[in-house]
């Protein structure tokens, strides 16, 4: 098994404004106070939750992070602040904003955002909050020539400029040029759209690639993660577990597959499993799939690549398929996982094949949902605090926990 460990982290500049933490009192949630407040520090001598995991201990002797990482509201707030409101985050795919006027909306923590392509073809992203009285401006996805607030009809261009403020006769000291939508940094890599909640980051394409993928970008782009695939569909799952439980499940190096996904295991050669760890990415590969094919039907192909991009994005490339999993935290014990499916052109019109593949994939997802919800309940039990790693297979999970520790420690 090939395992490399390159721990050069892309350094992110400290930024003055971060989104509001939902767990801070409302009065403390101003931009000015947030900057200086930071999150609660422990009393001297008490180990912080984050330091209850020691990333310097080798995996063979390490214990896993304590269950409080998966249950504690203050730790969850720290994660939003230190993990999700910093750095580049996958938020969608380029086909969603292919044409001028196309848009989609999303939410990460308490950040509501809208991504769109303006009439000049430029990719734009904004906080999806009306500057009048804070209504959410756009919902879902689709195509628009402007954003009209559903509350009092203030209207914004696709470049974020305030075009019309209704019934403001008599208003003083008001400059509509100062009331455009608040921008969010946006970029693309391959078929993916990325956003960064920090206001002053550089969105130069090479910098984004380096910060998001590091030295794994070549491996991904030469293993079929590209824009040539056709978009098929989306499936969403709301799971009663901390977002990291789903990530951990993904990162166990195929450990659970023969026991919990017997159907999937029959199509994979788990002896050919390898994990390679990059700066913020880990790639699991499974080569030499089963030669047993049911009626010439083959969803998985002879090799599969499973890439985890810290903190919450997964790219799965197998056979003619690519699916992506975006794990969105919804609270300390709840997350949503969005699956987007893409397919090679040669089979994109084969409805039977597509339906059969999606049904098989759904079965695996439902098995994982059950596993993850079971783990969350166990994590909340007084009987459990820490566990151990299986060193030969769970190194990507250990790497994930080390990255979390580093993010929160920063």
Comparing CB distances to ligand FES, the nearer of 57 and 153 is 153
Residues of span 122-141 touching ligand FES by CB under 6 A: 130, 132-133, 135
Judge contact between 164 and 156, C-beta under 8 A.
no
Give the shortest CB-145-to-ligand FES separation in angstroms. Answer: 18
Handedness of CA 199, 201, 204, 210 (dihedral sign): negative
* Residue 35 to residues 11, 16, 27, 29, 172, Cα–Cα distance (Å): 19, 6, 14, 10, 30
Task: Tell me: does residue 154 bind ligand FES (CB under 6 A).
Answer: yes
Give the shortest CB-18-to-ligand FES separation in angstroms. Answer: 24
Comparing CB distances to ligand FES, the nearer of 139 and 297 is 139
Place of tokens 């783990």: 375
Judge contact between 259 and 374, C-beta under 8 A.
no
Options 40-48, 147-155, 245-253, 343-351: segment touching ligand FES (CB under 6 A): 147-155
Give the shortest CB-156-to-ligand FES separation in angstroms. Answer: 9
Comparing CB distances to ligand FES, the nearer of 149 and 372 is 149
- What is the rounded end-to-end Cα distance, in angstroms, of the chain? 32
Task: Tell me: does residue 149 bind ligand FES (CB under 6 A).
Answer: yes
Candidates 1, 8, 73, 151; binder of ligand FES (CB under 6 A) is 151
| Opening angle at CA 38, ends 36 and 39, nearest 5 | 155
Candidates 152, 235, 348, 356; binder of ligand FES (CB under 6 A) is 152
Binding mask 75-114 for ligand FES (x = CB under 6 A): ----------------------------------------
The structure tokens listed for 410 are: 């920063």
Judge contact between 326 and 312, C-beta under 8 A.
yes
Task: Tell me: does residue 239 bind ligand FES (CB under 6 A).
Answer: no
User: Which residues of 74-146 form beta strands (DSSP E)?
Assistant: 89-93, 102-108, 111-117, 123-127, 141-143
- Count the residues of the shown chain that bind ligand FES, applying the rule CB under 6 A: 9
Comparing CB distances to ligand FES, the nearer of 128 and 316 is 128
Q: Quote the CA–CA distance of 180 and 160 in Å, as a whole number.
A: 5
Comparing CB distances to ligand FES, the nearer of 151 and 297 is 151
User: Which residues of 151-212 form beta strands (DSSP E)?
Assistant: 155-156, 162-164, 185-189, 192-196
Comparing CB distances to ligand FES, the nearer of 153 and 370 is 153
Which residues of this protein are in contact with ligand FES, per CB under 6 A? 130, 132-133, 135, 149, 151-154
């Amino acid at each position: 098994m090939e395992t490399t460990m390159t721990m050069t982290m892309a350094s992110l500049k400290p930024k003055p404004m971060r989104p509001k933490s939902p767990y801070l009192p409302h009065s403390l949630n101003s931009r000015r106070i947030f900057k200086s407040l930071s999150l609660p520090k422990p009393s001297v001598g008490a180990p912080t939750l984050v330091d209850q995991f020691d990333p310097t201990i080798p995996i063979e002797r390490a214990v896993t992070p304590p269950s409080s990482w998966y249950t504690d509201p203050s730790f969850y707030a720290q994660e939003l602040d230190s993990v999700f409101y910093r750095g580049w985050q996958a938020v969608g795919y380029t086909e969603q904003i292919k044409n001028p006027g196309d848009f989609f909306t999303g939410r990460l923590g308490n950040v509501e955002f809208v991504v769109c392509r303006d009439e000049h073809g430029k990719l734009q992203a904004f906080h999806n909050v009306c500057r009048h009285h804070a209504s959410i401006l756009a919902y879902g996805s689709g195509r628009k020539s402007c954003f009209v607030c559903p509350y009092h009809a203030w209207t914004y261009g696709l470049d974020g400029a305030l075009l019309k403020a209704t019934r403001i006769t008599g208003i003083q000291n008001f400059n509509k040029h100062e009331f455009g939508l608040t921008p969010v940094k946006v970029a693309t890599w391959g078929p993916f759209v990325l956003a960064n909640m920090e206001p002053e980051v550089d969105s130069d394409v090479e910098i984004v690639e380096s910060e998001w993928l590091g030295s794994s970008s070549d491996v991904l782009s030469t293993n079929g993660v590209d824009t040539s695939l056709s978009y098929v569909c989306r499936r969403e799952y709301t799971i009663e577990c901390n977002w990291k439980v789903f990530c951990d499940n993904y990162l166990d190096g195929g450990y659970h597959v023969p026991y919990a996904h017997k159907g999937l295991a029959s199509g994979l050669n788990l002896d050919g499993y390898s994990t390679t760890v990059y700066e913020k990415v880990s790639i699991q590969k499974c080569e030499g799939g089963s030669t047993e094919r049911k009626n010439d039907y083959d969803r998985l192909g002879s090799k599969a690549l499973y890439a985890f991009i810290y903190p919450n994005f997964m790219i799965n490339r197998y056979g003619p398929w690519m699916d992506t999993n975006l794990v969105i935290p919804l609270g300390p014990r709840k997350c949503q996982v969005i699956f987007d499916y893409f397919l090679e052109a040669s089979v994109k019109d084969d409805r039977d094949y597509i339906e059969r593949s999606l049904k098989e994939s759904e079965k695996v997802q439902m098995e994982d949902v059950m596993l993850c919800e079971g783990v969350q309940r166990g994590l909340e039990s007084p009987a459990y605090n820490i566990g151990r790693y299986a060193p030969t297979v769970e190194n990507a999970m250990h790497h994930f926990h080390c990255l979390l520790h580093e993010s929160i420690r920063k």
